């Protein structure tokens, strides 16, 4: 590890031997709990534009998005020539497999593309779609990013997630029938009604009950024009302080097996849409605070698991 936890940058350098770009794409998919397939209105924390607020040109054709994104990134890192296409916004397997294939192939065959990351939900991976992803995994590196957010059914219902933890567990097992498909699970810290202990338990269940290869830990961002604003204004949601968040993250890292890649420890939110926590806008200060707390504890990823094994 180049830190006290297994960073995504370290993993990608080990895997690919050099720095790469993860190129975010909006491929025009919707979500099943927005379009009425399983629910209406979407998750209560989700904005109208979903998670694609930072995509350079989300309305452009897919191939054009790809090149505009890498042109933008080359402004900082001109030497990078390998790319992972990240189908990021909304649910990127929520369509018939022939449409999924047609949209993916517009980007993944471009020069330098060595893999694909696919943001999706456990309820949008029928067998025929998994078969296509298995086929892709024989051609390139494939990562499925599964939105879970919480393992607690009460929280899931409160945020209108519209799928169960049991379905997530089942979907992970179905994906792992194809060992070349890697799974990254997403969890959100700070959801309404969840205590610090519950947030740590979310991670414990996620990494011990399931064969996953990576994890993304997000801070809940309260955004304008979301249904969650009502929870906040009616007192059902308390935003975490930076100190609380750092402590929770460090507690979570200590129970994550050291082979699991930490893809994210916080998140990004557009300043003009963010209600809070405003401290989250200083992302590097948050990450540096996590590093300092791990040092102060003389702690590292998975250390509690090792202590339990020795007891």
Q: How confident is the model at residue 53 (pLDDT cuts 50, 70, 90)?
A: low
Rounded Cα distance between 43 and 128, Å, is: 26
Decide if pLDDT at 52 tops 90. Answer: no
Q: Which helix (H) or strand (E) holds 85?
A: strand 83-87
* pTM for the whole structure: 0.93
Q: Which alpha helices (DSSP H) does the chain contain, by range?
A: 8-16, 62-74, 97-108, 127-137, 153-158, 165-175, 196-208, 228-233, 242-253, 283-297, 303-310
pLDDT digits (tens, 9 = 90+) for 258-304: 999 999 999 888 898 899 999 999 999 999 999 999 999 999 999 99
Decide if pLDDT at 50 tops 60. Answer: no
Length of the chain: 311
**Distance from chain centroid for Cα 11:** 16
Q: Let me know if domain 8-310 sits in CATH 3.20.20.
A: yes
Q: Which of 259, 226, 293, 240 is nearest to 49 (CA)?
A: 226
Decide if pLDDT at 1 tops 60. Answer: no
* Residue 242, both tokens: 């930076």
Decide if pLDDT at 6 tops 90. Answer: yes
pLDDT digits (tens, 9 = 90+) for 185-206: 999 999 999 999 999 999 999 9
pLDDT digits (tens, 9 = 90+) for 65-115: 999 999 999 998 999 999 999 999 899 999 999 999 999 999 999 999 999
The β-bridge relationship of strands 222-223 and 274-276 is antiparallel
């Amino acid at each position: 590890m180049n830190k006290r936890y297994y960073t995504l940058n370290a993993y990608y350098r080990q895997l690919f031997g050099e720095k790469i770009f993860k190129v975010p794409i909006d491929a025009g998919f919707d979500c099943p709990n927005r379009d009425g397939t399983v629910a209406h209105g979407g998750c209560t924390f989700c904005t109208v534009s979903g998670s694609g607020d930072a995509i350079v040109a989300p309305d452009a054709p897919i191939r054009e998005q790809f090149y505009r994104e890498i042109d933008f990134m080359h402004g900082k890192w001109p030497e990078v020539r390998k790319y992972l296409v990240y189908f990021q916004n909304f649910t990127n397997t929520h369509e018939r497999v022939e449409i999924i294939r047609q949209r993916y192939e517009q980007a993944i065959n471009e020069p330098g593309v060595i893999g694909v990351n696919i943001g999706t939900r456990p309820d949008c991976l029928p067998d025929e779609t998994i078969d296509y992803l298995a086929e892709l995994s024989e051609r390139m590196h494939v990562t499925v990013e599964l939105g879970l957010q919480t393992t607690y059914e009460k929280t899931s219902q409160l945020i209108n997630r519209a799928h169960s933890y049991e379905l997530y567990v089942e979907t992970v097992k179905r994906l792992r029938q194809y060992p070349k498909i890697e799974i990254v699970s997403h969890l959100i810290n700070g959801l309404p009604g969840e205590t610090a202990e519950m947030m740590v338990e979310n991670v414990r269940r996620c990494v011990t009950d399931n064969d996953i290869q990576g994890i993304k830990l997000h801070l809940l961002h309260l955004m304008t024009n979301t249904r969650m604003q009502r929870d906040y204004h009616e007192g059902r949601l308390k935003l975490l302080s930076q100190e609380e968040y750092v402590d929770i993250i460090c507690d979570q890292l200590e129970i994550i097996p050291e082979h699991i890649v930490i893809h994210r420890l916080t998140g990004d939110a557009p300043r003009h849409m963010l209600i809070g926590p405003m401290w989250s806008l200083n992302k590097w200060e948050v990450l540096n605070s996590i590093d300092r707390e791990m040092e102060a504890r003389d702690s590292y990823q998975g250390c509690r698991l090792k202590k339990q094994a020795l007891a």
